[in-house]
Structure 1
Amino acid sequence: MRSPFRLGPATLVTAAFIGPGTVVTASMAGANFGFALLWALLFSVVATMILQEMASRLGIVTGQGLGENLRQQVQHPLARFALFSLIVCAVVIGNSAYQGGNLTGASLGADALWGQTDGILALKNDLNLNPWALLLGSLAILVLWQGHYRWIERWLILLVLVMSLAFISTLLLTKPDVSAMLTGFIPHMPTGATLTVIALIGTTVVPYSLFLHAASSAKKWQNQPDKQQALAESHADLRTAIPLGGIITLAILSTAATAYFGTGLTMHNAGDLALSLEPVFGVWAKYLMALGLLAAGLSSAITTPLAAAYALTGLLNLSANWFRLTWLLIIVIGMLVASLGLRPLTIIWFAQVTNGLLLPIITLCLLWAVNSSLLGAYRNSKRQNLLGFAVFAATLLLSGRTLYLAFS
């Protein structure tokens, strides 16, 4: 009997969206609004599962990633130029900006765990930079340099399991009010919560994860002739990894709600949450939260450049050397940004705008691809299309609001 649960390519998606951005967003949501926005988290997990199932199915059936499929389907020169330019700007340039945040977040966790060691303090004082960013960036390069999908997948499964253990253990230590948590799944919008809802959904439903999942699924099951079995394994993977990511985010939000909401205390970043847990909930709570933040930052520091490399080489039909050069360049840029303490606000703003434009477009392209003759008998059913277009409508509203805020 096949197990209904497993960990595989969908774990890369979980590793991608549970990064420092999600930790900060979920922490701020809990600190400012308590458990009231858990419904938005539930929606984002369901929407992610709907889109990622289509991306994985596309990769398994065609044996190619989303980038390769878009290159074959979009033939009109002007449409191709516009779409490819937007993807390159949003995924490659955007992920370069986000990579600095991934390594900075991982560094905050490392600092809380080991920051007082003499060697690290000496490097900080002598060189005036963040040595954790250099060390963790180098570790990300080491993982990806091996070039073997199974090696990368195992590393990311390990990091996701570490995150799960750390954040869920922290939640149990803080003993949240379960009845209050359950009321948070009833949709309602507290005053001033609109931006936080957008951020909470936007950090989970991200376009580059579609490229990552389609390509990694194609690699995972490339030697599996039985498509039905491959799809069954992919569904089990999806049912395990994405909800696990939702549980991790729920744990972060609920921990922050228990520690901050209604106390009068102010939280500025995720590092504050780790440090503030010790006086109230004990030293283990601080170390577990810091470990989770470190694992979240490092996992995203691996998946962010990997997704960009899949997208770029798939779209432009580039060689394996370009694949490696793409992810290496993004990691190096992130190391420089994080180690020097830079805040490239203009680039981050640009990335947010392009991602806001890209999300509904890529969702529509994905729906087009999974309804094409390329998938034959594995095309979308009416139910899958209904769910897909409901998510598309939501991404359109989300992106419209994001763009409005970016230019207002």
Structure 2
Amino acid sequence: MRRLGPGLITGAADDDPSGIATYSQAGAQFGFGLLWTMLLTYPLMVAIQLVSARMGRVTGKGLATNLRRHYSPAVLYFAVLLLFIANTINIAADIAAMGAAAKLVLGGPVQLYVVLLGVFSLLLQMFMPYERYARYLKWLTLTLFAYVAIAFVIPVDWKAVGLSIVKPPIVFSAPYLTTVVAVLGTTISPYLFFWQASQEVEEIRSSPVQQPLLRAPIQATAQLKRINLDTWVGMGLSNGIAFFIILSAAATLHAHHIEVNTTADAASALKPIAGNLAFALFSLGIIGTGMLALPVLAGSAAYAAAGTMKWRNSLALQVNLAKQFYAVIAVSILGGVALTFTHFDPIKALYWSAVINGLAAVPIMALVMLMSGNRRVMGEFAVVGLLRIFGWIATAAMGLAAIGMFWPG
């Protein structure tokens, strides 16, 4: 367990409120018909996250810094702007869902909870190291295993589940393909690439013994082995939970023709094992994963901006030592809070933030793959072989899904 770090936290943060809502909608709307996406996303997600993590460990720099060093300013600004827009919308959707989840249990005005949760998250990020409070918040995410338990409590047609995976009932229609993009977008999101690369850089900074692999290739065997284990386990946890959220929503909501239009609808998927406590259990999961994900979303934007502008950056630094870095975090969180006052529907916002992530991921993934295979960037550790193949397959899959979203009908 001591060897697990950035990959595990990245995987845990991936099942954020946006993910829970999107997977619930996918299961409620299409039954078992989208379970196949989780078997597709797992190896593809591992590939792109491995590439990102390796880049951080090999170069000792985040993705934005590497983009600045090796590409034109226009390419850099385009990638960072895409990330910032997608992240701010995602933050707004997550905070709105957290506020709606709090209202389910406590009552009262949603906007009050939105402001309180947003400000609380910002203060934690500014005055407490992420790793310290993440240790405690991760326990709240154990509520997500309730979705796993449902599959073994209620009758599930496992034959239908197996057939939907072996022979996916793919429908070439705009609603189906848009949902595929949403599922892929909430699973393979741009902020995760920037975050995991930056966390590898943070790991290097945390110990004088550790060095970028370009400077200390002797450390490569141990570090690349750790990154592989960390990423496979972290992404396995993320995709496994996602699989069971879709399965649980299909077996409960889709089976009873219940659409997910509100947070209460999504929470009702937990009723088979939680009964009247379903809303409380759902709210704990939404708020817990949201509090884990908000620093990742805001932090990845801050790392990208700092790499672009050559600012000091680290969540381990005090605010007065990295003022611009923390200013970006504040703008991201407070900008997300402000967006919630437009009174958009939390569930629809979560879904469409996933779609936006799916669209934004494609060009960023292409840039990451180009850098990872470039010996000017990665030296002798340039990504080759199966990892490179699967990284490009992941990029192509996201691109095809994005194009398919505009399929007529």
TM-score, normalised to structure 1, is 0.83
Q: Which amino acid aligns with 2:394?
A: V
1:7 paired residue among 4, 26, 42:
4
Give the superposed CA RMSD: 3.1
Q: Which residue in 2 is equivalent to 1:293?
A: 286
Q: Does 1:36 align with 2:38?
A: no
Q: Which amino acid aligns with 1:108?
A: A
2:303 paired residue among 304, 310, 326:
310
Q: Which residue in 2 is equivalent to 1:199?
A: 182
Change (3 A) 1:327 1:87: same
Change (3 A) 1:276 1:233: closer
Q: Which residue in 1 is equivalent to 2:224?
A: 231
CA contact (8 A) 1:6 1:240 kept: no
Superposed, 1:5-404 pairs within 5 Å as 7-74=4-71, 76=72, 80-81=73-74, 83-112=75-104, 114-116=105-107, 121=108, 124=109, 130-146=111-127, 148=129, 150-151=131-132, 154=135, 157-159=138-140, 161-174=141-154, 176-191=156-171, 192=173, 193-222=176-205, 223=207, 224-225=210-211, 226-275=219-268, 277-278=270-271, 282-319=275-312, 320-338=322-340, 341-342=343-344, 358-373=360-375, 374-402=377-405, 404=406
Alpha-carbon displacement from aligned partner over 1:110-133 (angstroms, at most 9, x marks no partner): 223x324xxxx3xx3xxxx52211
Change (3 A) 1:138 1:175: farther
Work out the CA distance in 2 between the residues paired with 1:165 and 1:354: 27
Change (3 A) 1:206 1:181: same
Change (3 A) 1:171 1:217: farther
Q: Which amino acid aligns with 2:81?
A: C
Change (3 A) 1:68 1:280: closer
Change (3 A) 1:88 1:245: same
Q: Which amino acid aligns with 1:60?
A: R
Work out the CA distance in 1 between the residues paired with 2:272 and 2:386: 51
Change (3 A) 1:349 1:387: closer
Work out the CA distance in 2 between the residues paired with 1:276 and 1:350: 21
Change (3 A) 1:311 1:201: same
CA contact (8 A) 2:28 2:254 kept: yes
Change (3 A) 1:238 1:175: farther
Alpha-carbon displacement from aligned partner over 1:236-291 (angstroms, at most 9, x marks no partner): 11121111111111121111111122323333134312146438862344432332
Change (3 A) 1:173 1:145: farther
The Cα shift of 1:200 comes to 1.0
Alpha-carbon displacement from aligned partner over 1:67-89 (angstroms, at most 9, x marks no partner): 11111111x4xxx22x2332233
CA contact (8 A) 1:71 1:316 kept: no
SS of residue paired to 2:328: helix
Change (3 A) 1:33 1:351: closer
Q: Which amino acid aligns with 1:288?
A: L
Alpha-carbon displacement from aligned partner over 1:355-374 (angstroms, at most 9, x marks no partner): 56642322222122222223
SS of residue paired to 1:262: helix
The Cα shift of 1:399 comes to 3.0
Q: Which amino acid aligns with 2:44?
A: A
The Cα shift of 1:53 comes to 0.2
The Cα shift of 1:299 comes to 2.3
SS of residue paired to 1:34: helix
Q: Which amino acid aligns with 2:57?
A: I
Q: Which residue in 1 is equivalent to 2:216?
A: none
SS of residue paired to 1:257: helix
CA contact (8 A) 1:9 1:217 kept: yes
CA contact (8 A) 2:181 2:355 kept: no
CA contact (8 A) 2:60 2:201 kept: yes
The Cα shift of 1:316 comes to 2.3
Work out the CA distance in 1 between the residues paired with 2:149 and 2:283: 12
The Cα shift of 1:64 comes to 1.0
The Cα shift of 1:324 comes to 0.4
Work out the CA distance in 2 between the residues paired with 1:305 and 1:281: 33
The Cα shift of 1:174 comes to 4.2
Alpha-carbon displacement from aligned partner over 1:40-71 (angstroms, at most 9, x marks no partner): 12212221110000100111111111111111
Unaligned 5+ residue runs, structure 1? none
The Cα shift of 1:136 comes to 1.4
Work out the CA distance in 2 between the residues paired with 1:268 and 1:400: 26
TM-score, normalised to structure 2, is 0.83
Work out the CA distance in 2 between the residues paired with 1:271 and 1:89: 34
Work out the CA distance in 2 between the residues paired with 1:145 and 1:367: 32
Alpha-carbon displacement from aligned partner over 1:368-404 (angstroms, at most 9, x marks no partner): 22222232332212222222222222122123335x4
SS of residue paired to 1:107: helix
State, as a whole percentage, how many aligned pairs show the same letter.
24
CA contact (8 A) 1:41 1:246 kept: yes
Alpha-carbon displacement from aligned partner over 1:144-192 (angstroms, at most 9, x marks no partner): 1136353365356445x43544443455444534333333322423444
